[in-house]
Chain A
Amino acid sequence: MKNEIKTSLGGKTIALLAQSIINGLITGSIYALVASGYSLIYSTNNFMHFAHGISVVAAGYMVYWLFSLVGIPFYVTCIITVILSAIFGLAMYRLIYLPLQKKGASNVILLIASIGILTFFQNVIQIAFGSGVKLVGYIEVSKGITFAGVTMTLLQIVILIISLIIFILLYQFMQKTKTGRNMRAVSNNSELASIVGINHIRISDISFLIGSALAGVAGILVALEQNLSPFMGTNLMIKGFTGAVIGGINYVPGSIVGSFLLGMAENLGILVLPSGYKDAIAFSMLFLFLLFKPNGILGKKEGRFDK
């Protein structure tokens, strides 16, 4: 009976497939929101900002604090959260990374510093809010909308739409504005960029501001869609990083595509494989890409002279 359902090509299996694709898209959009900010910062600064994960978590807790505890209207909370996230990111760069860079710290030192920041703030959040799971509770949990056999909640549809809008805006910004072009120039060849007079620190400031604002948006959506616990940042960061590597860590659109691919691969993979292999699928992909295509699907080779 069980096997019949699995092997037949009846309506049931197609619905299962369609639902899994949607599940993959939802998962992917959250990974992509984390990965886009992360890869934006990576591409212009060339070091692993693992504390990006804590920007996401801090934003989530900010929503919980301002909206659920203080009682500030939700939309105002969102605006404050995004602004504070951007400032938080900039502060991390200005107060920790930049002074280290000025002392001649290598990228490995900066990576260690970023893990230090991540751990530190995870513990600060645990002390401030406790180790328990927190729910924002803006949207009541209810059954999603079913359309053509596929069930999705309104929030998930909103998340997909918001991510798409953000990614389009981000792309336009990177392609069309002067700052965006300068950022791409720095990411392409930072030495050459500084020779032609692009101020690297200013570009880094902007990348941390925008990247962390994106983390703020991700944090708000994660807080609504999942729930909050102080140590969720590590997990989000690992998946965001994996998505970014698959798509091309030094190229923002690449990391977005990679994240969606990762979400799809995980969710479609466990339709065939036992569900215990979900993380194994993600990390197998990470290793294969690191070994055979370290620049990812759409990533560019560093220092390549483009156009």
Chain B
Amino acid sequence: MRTFKVVIVMLVIMGLLLTAGCADTEETTEDTESDMIVVGIMGPYTGGAAEYGNAAKDGAMLAFNEANLSNVEVVTEDTKSETKEAATAMNKMVSVDNVQAVVGDLISAATLAAAPIAEQNQVVLISPASTSTDVSTAGDYIFRTIPGDDGQGIFAAQTLSDAGYTKLALLYTNDQYGNGLATIITDEFTELGGEIVADETYEAGSSDMRTQLTKIKDAEPEALFIVSNTPDSSVALLRQVTEIGIDADVYGSEGLKVASILELGDSVEGVTITSVSPESEEFKQKYMEEYGVEPPAFAAQAYDGATAIIMAIEGGATTGEEIKDALYEMEFDGASGHIKFDENGDVAGGYVLVEVQDGAFVTLEE
């Protein structure tokens, strides 16, 4: 019995040490006074989309640390790549932390789960990554610093059509983001005279898409477009594309732009990704100085989301409502591009093609 207690105590101590070790960059804790404005960051720091979530958190923290506002306190919440966790996190931040503005969530379904709570409590929610078209109409308090899927879907369909493909296969994650983007590409590509020869889905986070890919192979497409928002699934399915021997050229949405896929080596050479315009050189330098790696997808967008909130607070806004009003008025050149929120809280943004060449993501010139 004593050994058991010792082990439990050891585990607890280990847990505390480990969490303390990584907590130092997470919060800029200041004395909580009544005039403190609490700002939240939420996203998937664990679970299938953790790789994006941590990058976005780092990006947003960079902005808050730089601004170093004495009247702002930052709290973070892990939404574990799960929709229900996003609602729980939002509720907690609203009722316990009394936040006025939040940067997050990343996955569209999670942002949409948190949105009604934010809207109802007059808390600003700025997503750095949710591209589902539904986010546009989620409410007045809901913003995003990444352009919506309409833009990307149309860009992707046009790119594929311009490249001369007429038979396209789609493989996408079975959620709001995947279904939304696939619908837009299907509509646009068909209108441009192409044909969708295979339409397959998989559950986010799953790692076995062999039968879906077998069906795609059987349909003999000229190109395959992949929509993925979890890195573990992206790696698994790109590997299986090669193993099953699909001859089609492989394209994908910006979710594929994650360092892990480069480890697949030669088999991902030539994979082409439609991606939002790259981050500014200045931000890239800053991020690398701070974290020692190139900014992953969504870090710049999160930085811009945080910057927008900081600018609103610097302009004198203290409540969610005031921050919201300030956001609709502002305009600035951010790390991810020009930021000006339209009446839906969306930004325009541009797209580029990124290709895997010699084990690196290379932006193709227009």
Verify B46–A16 contact, CB threshold 8 A: no
Q: Closest B-chain residue to A236, C-beta based? A: B207
* B132 close to A (CB within 8 Å): no
What separation, in Å, do the CA atoms of A27 and B236 have in the docked complex?
13
- Choose among B47, B53, B215, B236 the residue that contacts A275 (Cβ–Cβ < 8 A): B215
- The CA of A174 and the CA of B271, in the complex, are separated in Å by 49
Interface pair B22/A279, CB less than 8 Å apart? no
Residues of B within 8 A of A271 (CB): 211, 215
Are B210 and A267 neighbours in the complex by a CB distance under 8 Å?
A: yes
Interface membership of B7, Cβ < 8 A: yes
**Contact between B232 and A232, CB atoms less than 8 A apart:** yes
Q: Which of the residues B1, B45, B218 comes within 8 Å of A12, measured between beta carbons?
A: B218
Q: In the complex, which residues of chain A have a beta carbon less than 8 angstroms from the beta carbon of B242?
A: 141-143
A226 touches B207 (CB 8 A): yes
Chain B facing A: main interface SS: helix
- A244 close to chain B: CB less than 8 A: no
Per-residue interface assignment for chain B, residues 242 to 282, with 1 indicating a CB less than 8 Å from any chain A CB and 0 otherwise: 11110000000000001110011111000000000000000
> Cβ of A131: which chain B residues have Cβ within 8 Å of it?
45-46, 50-51, 53-54
Q: Identify the closest chain B residue to A24 (Cβ).
A: B211
Bitwise, A258-276 to B at CB < 8 A (1) or not (0) is 0000000011001100111
- Give Cα distance in the complex from A143 to B240, angstroms: 9
B20 to chain A, nearest CB (A): 11
B234 closest partner in A (C-beta): A133
A7 CB within 8 Å of chain B:
no
Residue of B nearest to A270 (CB): B211
Given contacts A12-B218, A141-B265, A278-B202, A26 and B260 within 8 Å (CB-CB): no
Query: When chains A and B are docked, how far (Å) is the Cα of A131 from the Cα of B259?
Result: 12
The proximity string for B residues 170-210 relative to A, scoring 1 for CB distances below 8 Å and 0 otherwise, is 00001000000000000000000000010011110111101
Let me know if B147 is at the binding interface, CB within 8 A. Answer: no
A226/B236 in contact, CB under 8 A: yes
Chain B interface: which of A72-80, A122-130, A203-211, A294-302?
Answer: A122-130
Task: With A20-B211, A143-B243 as known contacts, state yes or no: A231 contacts B265, CB within 8 Å.
Answer: no
Cβ-defined contact, B46 with A235, below 8 A: no
A interface: dominant SS: helix
Q: How large is the interface on A (under 10, 10 to 19, 20 to 34, 35 or more residues)?
A: 35 or more
On whether the beta carbons of A99 and B4 are closer than 8 Å, the reply is yes
CB < 8 Å neighbour of A132 from B3, B7, B231: B231
Cβ contact within 8 Å between B267 and A142 = yes
Query: How many A-B contacts are there with CB distance less than 8 Å?
Result: 142
Asked if B239 CB lies within 8 Å of chain A CBs, one says yes
Chain A residues near B208 (CB-CB < 8 A): 23, 27, 226
**Across-interface contacts of B21 in A (CB, < 8 A):** 127
The answer to whether A120 touches B11 (Cβ under 8 A) is: yes
A132's nearest neighbour on chain B, judged by CB, is: B51
Chain A residues with CB under 8 A of B263:
135, 137
Complex Cα–Cα for A208 and B105 (A):
41
- From B209, which residue of chain A is reached at the shortest CB distance? A275
A288 within 8 A of B: no
What is the chain B residue whose CB lies nearest that of A91? B7
Other-chain residue from B4, B7, B200, B264 in contact with A141 (beta carbon distance below 8 A): B264
Chain B residues with Cβ under 8 A from A26's Cβ? 210
Contact, CB under 8 Å: B201 / A275: yes
A19 to B22, CA, bound (A): 46
Residues in chain A near residue B201, CB distance under 8 A: 274-276
Encoded as 1 (CB less than 8 Å from any A CB) or 0, chain B from 37 to 64 comes to: 0000000011110110110000000000
Q: Whole-angstrom distance from the CB of A151 to the nearest CB of chain B? A: 5
> Considering the chains assembled together, what is the distance between the CA atoms of A255 and B166 in angstroms?
46
B245 and A151: CB pair below 8 A? yes
Contacting B207 at CB < 8 Å: which of A19, A230, A232, A278? A232
Q: Assuming the A-B contacts A2-B219, A126-B46, are A133 and B232 also in contact, with contact meaning beta carbons closer than 8 angstroms in the complex?
A: yes
Q: In the complex, how many angstroms separate the beta carbon of A34 from the nearest chain B beta carbon?
A: 13
**Counting CB contacts under 8 A, is A96 at the interface?**
yes
Question: Would you call B316 an interface residue if the criterion is a C-beta within 8 Å of the partner chain's C-beta atoms?
Answer: no
B residues in contact with A44, CB < 8 Å = none
19 CB-based A-B contacts, threshold 8 Å = A19-B211, A19-B214, A20-B211, A23-B211, A102-B1, A124-B18, A131-B53, A132-B260, A133-B260, A143-B243, A144-B244, A153-B243, A227-B207, A232-B232, A235-B207, A270-B215, A275-B201, A275-B215, A276-B174
Which residues of A come within 8 Å of B, CB atoms?
2, 5, 12, 15-16, 19-20, 23-24, 26-27, 95-96, 99, 102-103, 120, 122-124, 126-127, 131-135, 137, 140-144, 146, 151, 153, 226-227, 229-232, 235, 266-267, 270-271, 274-276, 278-279
Q: List the 4 closest pairs (A to B, CB-CB), nearest first.
A: A131-B50, A99-B4, A133-B260, A23-B210
10 A-B pairs besides A95-B3, A132-B258 with CB distance below 8 A are A16-B214, A20-B211, A23-B208, A127-B22, A133-B231, A137-B263, A226-B208, A275-B200, A275-B202, A276-B201
